[in-house]
Amino acid sequence: MSELTTCLWFDREGEEAARLYVEVFPNSKLDRETPYPEGGDRAGEAMTADFVVNGQKFVALNGGPQYHFTEAISFQIPCVDQDEVDRYWDALTADGGEEGPCGWLKDRFGVSWQVVPNRLSELLSSSEPGVAKRAAEAMFAMKKIVIADLEAAAAETASV
C-alpha cells in the first residue's frame, strides 16, 4: 500500500488553505495544483492543490459548497513549549479563525485543530494524587492552553 493522503473538501478556497498550511508548518510544501478541465462551469479554476505538511500528504479539493468541516475530525498539533502553542494558535485563529475550548480552534476555513502542549499530556497522566484532576479542571476552563497556568493548578495542594 502506498502512503495515505488526507483529502480536505473546500468550496473554492482549497489553494488558499494549502498556502496557509505550508506557511504555518515547518517542513511543508505546495506540490501541484490541478485546474478544472475546459468546458465546465469551473474551467480554469483550481480543482485540487496537493501539499505536504511535515511529511503528511494532503490534497485540497475545491469540490463545491455541499460539504463542510466539523469538529468530528481535527488535527492535533503537539507543541514543545508555550512559544510554539502561541505561534500555532495565533496563525490559525488569524483572519477569521475561532477559538474553542480546551486548546481547540477552527481556522478561517472551518478546519478544526487541537493545539496541545506536550506538558498537558504529562500532567494528565501523572500518578501523583490529584495532579491529573487539577490539570484537567484548569484545561477545561481555558481556550488556548497556557502551560504555566496548568502547572500552577497541578501544583496546588488540596484544601483540608
Strand partners, 5: 57
**Tens place of pLDDT per residue across the chain (160 aa):** 788 999 999 999 999 999 999 999 999 999 999 999 988 888 889 999 999 999 999 999 999 999 999 999 999 999 999 999 999 999 999 999 999 999 999 999 999 999 999 999 999 999 999 999 999 999 999 999 999 999 999 998 654 4
Q: How far is CA 41 from CA 44, 62, 98, in A?
A: 9, 13, 32
Q: What's residue 160's pLDDT?
A: 40
Q: pLDDT value at position 2?
A: 83
Global pTM? 0.92
Which of 67, 82, 113 is where one domain is finished?
Answer: 67
- What are the CA-CA distances from residue 104 to residues 3, 38, 153 (Å)? 27, 40, 20
Note whether 10 and 29 are same-domain residues: yes
One domain for residues 60 and 90? no
Does 2 share its domain with 12? yes
The confidence score (pLDDT) of residue 158 equals 52
CATH number of the domain enclosing 27: 3.10.180.10
Range of the domain at 135: 69-160
The pLDDT, as a whole number, for residue 1 is 76
pLDDT number for residue 110: 97
Same domain, 47 and 126: no
* CA pseudo-torsion sign 17, 23, 27, 31: positive
Query: Contact 68/8 with Cβ under 8 angstroms?
Result: no
End-to-end CA distance of the chain: 58
